[in-house]
Chain A
Amino acid sequence: EVQLVESGGGLVQPGGSLRLSCAASGFTFSSYEMNWVRQAPGKGLEWVSYISSSGSTIYYADSVKGRFTISRDNAKNSLYLQMNSLRAEDTAVYYCARERGGSPGGWFDPWGQGTLVTVSS
């Protein structure tokens, strides 16, 4: 069964840092592009970042560029999101999602269950 499981969320103060992880199983992780998508409480989906299968190509939303870093460890079947200089507006459920059919430009399937990040003093 294809599965993605996020972890690492929690409560952090403004200006703080957090590292999210996404453990993949049930497929050849190193063959797929991956994305992070977030959803603020009661709001819609917002794309955050993309990483190619090898990790050589990376893109970020303007709202997180310079503060967040996406990375992957294909040997460990894991995706990461290092979040620095966190702001209240970064409060959201963060989902990892496998991309198919694009380079980038494909669709996201499946998604993990999400991990909640709360930025508050």
Chain B
Amino acid sequence: SYVLTQPPSVSVAPGQTARITCGGNNIGSKSVHWYQQKPGQAPVLVVYDDSDRPSGIPERFSGSNSGNTATLTISRVEAGDEADYYCQVWDSSSDHGVFGGGTKLTVL
């Protein structure tokens, strides 16, 4: 089965840039979607199709995908960005949805 690997945690100071990676075999050939989840809340879509942003999501959130790594980049990080972030793809070889293990973003 297809596996997505994320770092368990990323820490960044306010105003700096956070980069959260999502590794998978030839993930560059898939469409990657990213979700933000704050404690006690449902996940919220922040990036879809590798790099598109839903309406209402700040331009500070961006994404890229190439080779074996997809990346969610959060510029000018704010305290309110502290949350868990998950990447997600569809594995067409098994017809299964797949989530990464999640990354806890801490704003120092």
Please list 16 pairs of residues, one from A and one from B, whose beta carbons are closer than 8 Å in the complex, sorted by A's number. Answer: A37-B99, A44-B99, A44-B102, A45-B37, A45-B88, A45-B99, A47-B97, A47-B98, A59-B95, A59-B96, A61-B96, A101-B31, A107-B33, A107-B49, A108-B45, A109-B48
Task: Please tell me if A41 contacts chain B, counting CB pairs below 8 Å.
Answer: no
Residues of B within 8 A of A100 (CB): 48
Please tell me the number of chain A residues within 8 Å of chain B, measured between CB atoms.
Answer: 25
Count, A-B residue pairs, CB within 8 A: 72
B contact face: mostly helix, strand, loop, or mixed? strand
Q: Which residues of B contact A (CB under 8 A)?
A: 1, 31, 33, 35, 37, 42-45, 48-49, 54, 84, 86, 88-90, 92, 95-102
Q: Is the CB of B99 within 8 A of A46?
A: yes
Choose one: A44, A62, A105, A111; the contact of B42 (CB below 8 Å): A111
Instruction: Find the residue from B42, B86, B102 having the highest chain A CB count within 10 A.
Output: B42
A45-B99, A59-B95 known, 5 other contacts, Cβ within 8 Å:
A44-B84, A44-B101, A45-B37, A107-B48, A108-B43
CA distance A28 to B69 in the complex (A): 35
Task: Please tell me if A29 contacts chain B, counting CB pairs below 8 Å.
Answer: no
Q: Is the CB of A105 within 8 A of B31?
A: yes
Task: Please tell me if A50 contacts chain B, counting CB pairs below 8 Å.
Answer: yes
Residues of A within 8 A of B89 (CB): 105
Choose one: B49, B96, B98, B99; the contact of A101 (CB below 8 Å): B49
Query: Nearest CB to that of A44 among chain B residues?
Result: B102
Residues of B within 8 A of A50 (CB): 97
Residues of A within 8 A of B90 (CB): 102, 104-106
Q: Is the CB of A104 within 8 A of B97?
A: yes
Residues of B within 8 A of A35 (CB): 97
Choose one: B31, B44, B86, B100; the contact of A102 (CB below 8 Å): B31
Residues of A within 8 A of B88 (CB): 45, 47, 107-108
